[in-house]
Amino acid sequence: MNAEDYKNGQLILIDKPLEWTSFQVVNKIRWLIRKQFNIKKIKVGHAGTLDPLATGLLIICTGKFTRKIENYQAREKEYTGTFTLGATTPSYDLETEIDNTFDISEITENDINKASQQFIGEIQQRPPVFSALKKEGKRLYEFARAGEEVEIPSRTVHISAFEITRIDLPKVNFRVVCSKGTYIRSLAHDFGKALNNGAYLSALRRTKIGEFSVEDAISIEAFEEQITLL
């Protein structure tokens, strides 16, 4: 593979590590390609953001394949992860500190499995205030960090599968298959509400985007090793 191959377009499946932003992964891949082939410019983008606290599949497109990003973004996605019951956080995940706690002693496995059924099909979901969505030209997280109240309209998303895979309270493991635009953090928050309790997302891994699987993805280190051998 040479510089022209990357300019004509390549699809790179990366297993995003914890605490990296999706943008940092794109920058790293771009820098490695430019360095290896001594080229000044190359288009590189990703097909769907993963939060820094999430791991898993990130589709990276290079060159002319960046035109296909919207097509990949629109595909159904699969996630696995963990909700922690009995508490909430403002960001609905571990990015912010716990702001409320709840008693979970009365919650049963049956309650948990029953609650999950409420979220299958088309549902209304409100994105987290700690998100990169824009309102009035500003990112929502900018309002949140400034302590400003902001009205966030709910949106329709589709969840085709929501399976509880393990219960070890306060931890609840799950697998979700959902449409573009679904926030798993919001799902965690709403799941807690459905139990008349609280919940936040404590672990998340994206396992599939359409027909692409994280099993076929490589680490950033493996990509670096591959490209330096070219």
The domain locations on the chain are 3-74+211-228, 77-209
User: Do 77-209 and 3-74+211-228 have the same topology in CATH?
Assistant: yes
Kindly give, in sequence order, each residue whose CB lies less than 8 Å from that of residue 221, ignoring residues fewer than 6 positions away: none
What integer pLDDT is reported at residue 127 of this predicted model? 84
CATH number (3.30.200.20, 3.10.20.440, 3.30.2350.10, 3.40.50.850) of 3-74+211-228 reads 3.30.2350.10
Give CA separation, 28 vs 6, 58, 59, 65, 129, in Å: 15, 13, 14, 18, 28
- Residue 111 is a catalytic residue: no
The pLDDT of residue 150:
67
The CATH classification number of 77-209 equals 3.30.2350.10
Sign of the alpha-carbon dihedral angle for 123, 128, 133, 136: positive
pLDDT value at position 229? 84
Model pLDDT, residue 97: 94
Q: Give the pLDDT of residue 77.
A: 97
Whole-angstrom distance, CA of residue 202 vs CA of residue 21: 17
The per-residue pLDDT for 146 is 62
For residues 14 and 214, is the Cβ–Cβ distance under 8 A? no
Positions in the chain short of pLDDT 50: none
Mean pLDDT taken over the chain: 92
CA dist., res. 111 & res. 163, Å (int)? 14
* pTM for the predicted model, two decimal places: 0.92
Query: What's the half-sphere exposure (Cβ side, CA atoms, 13 Å) at 185?
Result: 21
The catalytic residue among 5, 15, 51, 103 is: 51
